[in-house]
A and B are shown apart, each in its own frame.
Chain A
Amino acid sequence: MILITILEFLLIAIFAMALGLLFMGIARKVVARTQKRIGPPFYQPYLDVLKLFGKDAITHGFIFDFGAIMAFGGMIATLFFVPIGGIYLYSMSGTLLLVIYLMAIAYLGMAMATVGSGNPLASVGISRALTQMLGYEMPFIVVLLTLIYSSGTSSIVGIMQAQQGGLMNWNLVNVPLGTVVAFIALLGLMGKKPFDAPIAPSEIASGPVVEHGGKYLGLIMLQHSVSIVVKTALFVNLFFGGASNILFFLLKMLIVWLLATLIGSVFPRFKVEEGVLFYWKWPLIGALIQAVIIIF
Chain B
Amino acid sequence: MSLSQMIIIPIILSIFTYLITKKIKSAGPIINIILSGYILYTIVNIYGKWDILSQSLNINIMGNNFNFILNNSPLAWLLGIMTVGSVFLISIFSVSSQKNVKYTASFSFLFSILMGSILGVVFAGDLMTLFIFWELMTWSSFFLISSGKKEGAKKASYRYLILSTIGAYLMVTSIFIIFNQINTLEFTEVANYLQSIPTLNSIILIVMMGIPFLIKAGVFPLHIWVNGAHSNAPKEFSPFLSGLMLKIGTYGLMLLLYLVPLYNILDSSIKFRGLPVFNYILALFGGITIITGTILAIRQEDVKKLIAFSSISQMGYIVMALAITTPLGFAGGLLHLMNHMIFKTTIFLTMAAVIYRTNTTKMSEMGGLIFRMPVTFAAYLTAIIALAGIPPTNGFISKWVIYQALIQKGYIFLSVAAFFGSIGSFMYVFKPLSTVFLGQLKPIHRDIKEVPILMQIPMYILMALMVLFGVLPGIQMNIINQIAQYLNIETVQSTLYTITGAYGAWNSLIIFNVFVGGFLIALIIFVFAKKSKLVGLMDTYTSGEYMDDPEAYHYAYKYYRPFDRIFDSFAAKSLTRAYDTFAQNITKLGNLFNKGIVTGNGQTYAFYMILLIVILAFAGWMI
Q: Cβ of A63 and Cβ of B438 under 8 Å apart?
A: yes
Q: How far is the CA of A142 from the CA of B420 in the complex (A)?
A: 11
Contact of A119 among B389, B511, B534, B541 (CB under 8 A): B541
Q: Cβ of B532 and Cβ of A59 under 8 Å apart?
A: yes
Complex: chain B residue closest to A136, CB-CB = B423
Shortest distance from the beta carbon of B407 to any chain A beta carbon, whole Å:
5
Q: Which residues in chain B, 394-449, are within 8 Å of chain A measured between CB atoms?
A: 396, 400, 403-404, 407, 410, 412, 415-416, 419-420, 423-424, 426-427, 430, 433-434, 438-440
Q: Cβ of B412 and Cβ of A92 under 8 Å apart?
A: no
Q: Cβ of A105 and Cβ of B390 under 8 Å apart?
A: yes
Name B's A-contacting residues (CB within 8 A).
368, 370-371, 381, 385, 388-391, 396, 400, 403-404, 407, 410, 412, 415-416, 419-420, 423-424, 426-427, 430, 433-434, 438-440, 501, 503-507, 510-511, 514-515, 517-523, 525-526, 529-530, 532-543, 553-555, 559-560, 562-563, 565-566
Q: State whether the Cβ of A133 lies closer than 8 Å to any Cβ in chain B.
A: yes
**Complex A-B: 20 CB contacts under 8 Å:** A13-B518, A60-B535, A73-B519, A76-B517, A76-B521, A77-B519, A90-B510, A92-B507, A94-B503, A104-B390, A105-B391, A108-B390, A120-B439, A138-B416, A142-B416, A146-B412, A148-B407, A154-B503, A222-B525, A273-B565
Shortest distance from the beta carbon of A68 to any chain B beta carbon, whole Å:
7
Q: State whether the Cβ of A200 lies closer than 8 Å to any Cβ in chain B.
A: no
Q: Which among B423, B433, B439 has the greatest number of chain A C-beta atoms within 10 A?
A: B423
Q: Cβ of A153 and Cβ of B504 under 8 Å apart?
A: yes
Q: How far is the CA of A126 from the CA of B534 in the complex (A)?
A: 23
The answer to whether residues A92 and B504 also contact, given A121-B541, A292-B412 and a CB cut-off of 8 A, is yes
Complex: chain B residue closest to A93, CB-CB = B504
Chain B residues near A153 (CB-CB < 8 A):
503-504
Q: Cβ of A295 and Cβ of B419 under 8 Å apart?
A: no
Q: How far is the CA of A95 from the CA of B503 in the complex (A)?
A: 10
Q: How far is the CA of A128 from the CA of B561 in the complex (A)?
A: 9
Q: Cβ of B438 and Cβ of A115 under 8 Å apart?
A: yes
Supply 5 further A-B pairs (C-beta < 8 A) apart from A71-B522, A105-B390.
Answer: A58-B535, A59-B533, A76-B517, A133-B423, A219-B525
Contact of B566 among A90, A130, A277 (CB under 8 A): A277
**6 pairs of A and B residues whose beta carbons are closest in the complex:** A77-B518, A118-B537, A94-B504, A93-B504, A73-B519, A73-B522
Q: How far is the CA of A54 from the CA of B531 in the complex (A)?
A: 10
Q: Which residues in chain A, 79-137, are within 8 Å of chain B measured between CB atoms?
A: 79-81, 89-90, 92-95, 97-98, 101-102, 104-105, 107-108, 111-112, 115-121, 123-124, 126-128, 130-131, 133-134, 137
Chain A residues near B539 (CB-CB < 8 A):
58, 60
Chain A residues near B371 (CB-CB < 8 A):
61
Q: Which residues in chain A, 201-227, are within 8 Å of chain B measured between CB atoms?
A: 205, 210-211, 214-216, 218-219, 222
Q: Cβ of B530 and Cβ of A53 under 8 Å apart?
A: yes
Chain B residues near A255 (CB-CB < 8 A):
none
The answer to whether residues A57 and B530 also contact, given A148-B503, A273-B566 and a CB cut-off of 8 A, is yes
Name A's B-contacting residues (CB within 8 A).
6, 9-10, 13, 53-61, 63, 65, 68-81, 89-90, 92-95, 97-98, 101-102, 104-105, 107-108, 111-112, 115-121, 123-124, 126-128, 130-131, 133-134, 137-138, 141-142, 145-146, 148-149, 152-155, 158, 205, 210-211, 214-216, 218-219, 222, 271-273, 276-277, 288, 291-292, 295
Shortest distance from the beta carbon of B264 to any chain A beta carbon, whole Å:
27
The answer to whether residues A74 and B518 also contact, given A101-B391, A211-B540 and a CB cut-off of 8 A, is yes
Chain B residues near A81 (CB-CB < 8 A):
514
Q: Cβ of B519 and Cβ of A134 under 8 Å apart?
A: no
Complex: chain B residue closest to A63, CB-CB = B370
The answer to whether residues A56 and B532 also contact, given A115-B439, A271-B562 and a CB cut-off of 8 A, is yes
The answer to whether residues A108 and B385 also contact, given A117-B540, A123-B434, A210-B541 and a CB cut-off of 8 A, is yes
Shortest distance from the beta carbon of A65 to any chain B beta carbon, whole Å:
7
Shortest distance from the beta carbon of A214 to any chain B beta carbon, whole Å:
7
Q: Cβ of B530 and Cβ of A145 under 8 Å apart?
A: no
Q: Cβ of B430 and Cβ of A126 under 8 Å apart?
A: yes
Q: Cβ of A13 and Cβ of B533 under 8 Å apart?
A: no
Q: How far is the CA of A128 from the CA of B519 in the complex (A)?
A: 27
The answer to whether residues A138 and B423 also contact, given A92-B507, A118-B553, A152-B503 and a CB cut-off of 8 A, is yes
Shortest distance from the beta carbon of A10 to any chain B beta carbon, whole Å:
7
Q: Which among B407, B507, B533, B538 has the greatest number of chain A C-beta atoms within 10 A?
A: B407
Q: Cβ of A69 and Cβ of B519 under 8 Å apart?
A: yes
Chain A residues near B543 (CB-CB < 8 A):
205
Q: How far is the CA of A198 from the CA of B518 in the complex (A)?
A: 26
Chain A residues near B389 (CB-CB < 8 A):
101
Q: Cβ of A70 and Cβ of B519 under 8 Å apart?
A: yes
Chain A residues near B396 (CB-CB < 8 A):
101
Chain A residues near B415 (CB-CB < 8 A):
141-142, 145
The answer to whether residues A120 and B553 also contact, given A77-B519, A80-B518, A154-B407 and a CB cut-off of 8 A, is yes
Complex: chain A residue closest to B419, CB-CB = A141
Q: How far is the CA of A138 from the CA of B434 in the complex (A)?
A: 24
Q: Cβ of A134 and Cβ of B518 under 8 Å apart?
A: no
Q: Cβ of A214 and Cβ of B553 under 8 Å apart?
A: no
The answer to whether residues A138 and B419 also contact, given A69-B523, A73-B518, A148-B503 and a CB cut-off of 8 A, is yes
Q: Cβ of B521 and Cβ of A142 under 8 Å apart?
A: no
Shortest distance from the beta carbon of A232 to any chain B beta carbon, whole Å:
19
Q: How far is the CA of A77 from the CA of B513 in the complex (A)?
A: 9
Q: Cβ of A65 and Cβ of B530 under 8 Å apart?
A: no
